[in-house]
């Protein structure tokens, strides 16, 4: 694999995950992937996800407020 990459042959990259599963077995592959789940990684992911959720909520709320204000301004004044 390393020789292929040194020769700039990137065809093996697509099958790298399958190679890891075939070489190590499914159980060892999943245990290796689970070792990358550290509390710091989970915390960073939670902060990023909450930031995305807050940004989306702000965008939806601003669109709703804009539509509401447009509806109010288009209604005729009936007071007086």
Angle subtended by helix axes 26-34 and 16-24, to nearest 10 = 110
pLDDT in tens, 27-43: 776 777 777 788 888 89
Spatial separation of the C-alpha atoms in residues 40 and 65, rounded to whole Å: 37
Structural contact between residues 6 and 21, judged by C-beta atoms closer than 8 angstroms: no
Global model pTM greater than 0.85: no
Q: Choose among 54, 77, 73: nearest CA to 65.
A: 73
Question: How do residues 56-79 score in pLDDT, each as one tens digit?
Answer: 999 999 999 999 988 887 777 666
In angstroms, rounded to a whole number, what is the distance separating the alpha carbons of residues 45 and 28?
Answer: 24
């Amino acid at each position: 694999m390393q020789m292929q990459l040194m020769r700039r042959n990137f065809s093996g990259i697509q099958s790298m995950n399958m190679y890891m599963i075939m070489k190590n077995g499914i159980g060892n592959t999943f245990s290796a992937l689970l070792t990358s789940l550290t509390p710091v990684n989970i915390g960073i992911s939670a902060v990023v996800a909450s930031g995305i959720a807050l940004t989306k909520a702000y965008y939806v709320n601003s669109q709703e407020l804009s539509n509401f204000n447009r509806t109010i301004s288009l209604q005729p004044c009936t007071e007086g």
